């Protein structure tokens, strides 16, 4: 599956942003005060997460991105140096007012990455779907989707199972079990997974980007799955380039 160089897209991205912080350290002993490990930090890496990670994935594919977001939260992951395993995650959530003054003209694609931190509410989705004349892709944790027709939803299996009302045009990601769209199953390759963080953001960015380029959902899903597999091989969020996706696809064929 070789992907030719696509034209540059101008993308409007709306969503919640955060800093993904990875603090590595050593676990030397158990806490004498409670049955938990004592963690001694040695280094910290910070990356942009949530919708900001979607932005970076779109930029890596060559898109121009106008990114509108709310307040920036932080997720800190404590990781054991020896095992590479996560010990815990500390979430510092912040909530924002919703974006309602939205100009959708002069874009080739609109993407919404909604983590339910206030930046995106039902009215935001209403406005975008009503005004947009280009493809709209939405990744959301909202549970009522039946009224939205002029868009595609990308949600995971748990979110799909928790929906109160289902709409049309829903792409469901199921982790190692692949993707379902319009009752068609797309199966994953068996790979060694390093970290699942950000794989859904990579899938959303690649799916929306390549659907807009090729106007073919089947092709877009297959490319997005390959892109996500690349991210799964990296610790933390990662943004594969078109060159990487081509090389990886050729290797896995």
Give tens-digit pLDDT for 148-185.
988 999 999 999 999 999 988 999 999 889 999 999 99
pLDDT in tens, 2-18: 576 677 899 999 999 99
Residue 251 confidence (pLDDT): 59
Residue 234 lies in a domain: yes
Residue 1 lies in a domain: no
Closest CA to 180 of 202, 159, 154, 201: 154
Count of domains for the chain: 1
Residue 11 lies in a domain: no
Residue 4 confidence (pLDDT): 63
Residue 179 confidence (pLDDT): 97
How far apart are alpha carbons 217 and 107 in whole angstroms? Answer: 20
- The CATH number covering residue 167 comes to 3.40.1190.20
Residue 6 lies in a domain: no
Q: Are 44 and 21 in contact (CB under 8 A)?
A: yes
Average pLDDT, whole number, for the chain? 93
Residue 2 lies in a domain: no
Range of the structural domain that residue 83 is part of: 17-252
**Quick one: tokens of 23?**
């603090």
Tokens 């009302």 found at? 165
Closest CA to 66 of 78, 54, 77: 54
pLDDT in tens, 118-127: 999 999 999 9
Residue 148 lies in a domain: yes
Residue 7 lies in a domain: no
Question: What's the predicted TM-score (pTM) here?
Answer: 0.91
Residue 85 lies in a domain: yes
Q: Give the angle subtended at the CA of 195 by the CAs of 193 and 197, to the nearest 5°.
A: 135
């Amino acid at each position: 599956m070789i992907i030719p160089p696509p034209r540059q897209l101008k993308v409007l991205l709306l969503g919640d942003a955060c800093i993904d912080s990875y603090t590595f350290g050593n676990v030397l002993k158990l806490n004498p005060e409670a049955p938990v490990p004592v963690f001694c930090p040695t280094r910290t890496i910070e990356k942009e997460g949530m919708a900001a990670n979607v932005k970076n994935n779109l930029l890596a594919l060559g898109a121009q991105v106008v990114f509108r977001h709310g307040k920036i939260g932080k997720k800190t992951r404590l990781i054991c140096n020896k095992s590479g395993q996560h010990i815990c995650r500390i979430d510092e959530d912040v909530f924002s007012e919703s974006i309602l003054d939205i100009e959708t003209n002069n874009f080739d694609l609109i993407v919404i990455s909604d983590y339910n931190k206030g930046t995106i509410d039902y009215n935001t989705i209403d406005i975008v779907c009503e005004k947009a004349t280009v493809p709209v892709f939405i990744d959301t944790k909202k549970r009522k989707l039946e009224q939205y027709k002029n868009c595609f939803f990308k949600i995971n299996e748990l979110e799909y199972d928790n929906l109160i009302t289902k709409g049309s045009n829903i792409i469901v990601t199921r982790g190692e079990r692949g993707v379902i769209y319009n009752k068609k199953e797309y199966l994953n390759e068996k790979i060694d997974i390093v970290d699942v963080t950000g794989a859904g953001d990579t899938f959303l960015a690649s799916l929306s980007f390549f659907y807009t380029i090729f106007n073919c959902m089947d092709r877009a899903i297959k490319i997005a799955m390959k892109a996500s597999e690349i991210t799964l091989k990296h610790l933390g969020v990662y943004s594969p380039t078109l060159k990487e996706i081509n090389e990886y696809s050729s290797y896995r064929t």
